[in-house]
Amino acid sequence: MKIREVMTPAPVTVASTDMVTAAANAMKEQGIGATPVVTDDRLTGILTDRDIAVRVLAEGRDPASTRTGDVCSTELVSIGMDDDIEDAIRLIREHAVRRVPVIAEDVLVGIVSISDLVLARDERSALADVSAAPPNT
Amino acid sequence: MERKIRDVMSPEPIGVYYDQTIADAARVMRDADVGALLVVHGQELVGVVTDRDLVVRGVAEDMKPADLVGPLCSGDLVGVNADDDTGEAIRVIRENAVRRLPVIEDGQIAGMVSLGDLAIAHDAQSPLAVVSRAGPR
C-alpha to C-alpha distances, B52 to A57, A110, B28, B35, B72, nearest whole angstrom: 12, 22, 14, 8, 10
A77-128 tens-digit pLDDT: 899 999 999 999 899 888 888 889 999 987 899 999 887 887 776 654 555 5
Measured distance CA(A2)–CA(A5) in Å, rounded: 6
B11 and B105 Cβ atoms separated by less than 8 Å: no
Inter-chain touch A98–B35, beta carbons under 8 Å: no
A72 and A101 Cβ atoms separated by less than 8 Å: no
Q: For residue A94, which of A75, A108, A111 has the smallest C-alpha distance?
A: A75
Average pLDDT over residues A71-75: 91
B15-69 tens-digit pLDDT: 999 999 999 999 999 999 888 899 999 888 888 999 999 999 999 999 999 999 9
3-state secondary structure B117-136: HHHHHHCCCCHHHHHHHCCC
Inter-chain touch A57–B134, beta carbons under 8 Å: no
Q: Does A137 touch chain B (CB under 8 A)?
A: yes
Q: Which residues of A touch B62 (CB under 8 A)?
A: 21, 64
Measured distance CA(A118)–CA(A137) in Å, rounded: 19
| Ramachandran bin of B21, using left for φ above 0, alpha for ψ from -120 to 50, beta for the remaining angles | beta
Tell me the pTM.
0.78
End-to-end CA distance of chain A: 30
Give the residue with greater pLDDT, A70 vs B97. Answer: A70
Q: What is the mean pLDDT of chain A?
A: 87
Q: Which residues of A touch B128 (CB under 8 A)?
A: 114, 118, 127
Inter-chain touch A137–B98, beta carbons under 8 Å: yes
Measured distance CA(A45)–CA(A52) in Å, rounded: 14
Helical residues (DSSP H) of B2-122, grouped into ranges: 5-8, 22-32, 51-53, 86-96, 115-122
Apex B110 CA angle, B104 and B54, nearest 5: 95
A6-55 tens-digit pLDDT: 998 988 999 999 999 999 999 999 998 999 999 987 899 999 999 999 99
Bridge partner list, B78: none
3-class secondary-structure state, position A89: helix
Q: Which residues of B touch A130 (CB under 8 A)?
A: 93-94, 97-99, 115
Measured distance CA(B51)–CA(A14) in Å, rounded: 20
The dihedrals phi and psi of B107, each to the nearest 5 degrees, come to 75, 0
